[in-house]
Amino acid sequence: MRGEEGCLSEVRNMIWTLELASYLDDAPWPATKEELIDYAMRTGAPMQVIHNLEELEESEELFESLEEIWPDHPSDDDFFFEDEKEY
């Protein structure tokens, strides 16, 4: 049983959804990993957001936007498209 617990704690993957990402919309960009974790904790973000941020590489580098953390983050263009039907 002990071995299973160790495996579970080591297997954490970043799982982002639009809902989780929305908790970082008003984050103080640009920000370091530690600043983002602090922001998420202070604003009451779900633990999954904090876990995702903790999974980022250790660095003092600034993240300019959510797209640097979640490269597959959908843009506005992914949701709004021009209907090209002819009437």
Answer yes or no: is pLDDT of 82 > 70. no
Q: Mean per-residue pLDDT for 33-56? A: 96
Q: Mean per-residue pLDDT for 9-19? A: 72
Nearest to residue 40, comparing CAs of 28, 32, 49? Answer: 49
In the prediction, which pLDDT does 87 show?
A: 54
Q: What pLDDT, in 10s, does the model give residues 57-73?
A: 888 889 999 999 998 87
Cβ-proximal residues to 9 (8 Å cutoff; 6+ apart), any chain: none
Query: Six-digit token pair at 18?
Result: 């639009």
- The DSSP secondary-structure symbol of 30 reads S
Please state whether the predicted TM-score (pTM) of the whole model is above 0.85.
no
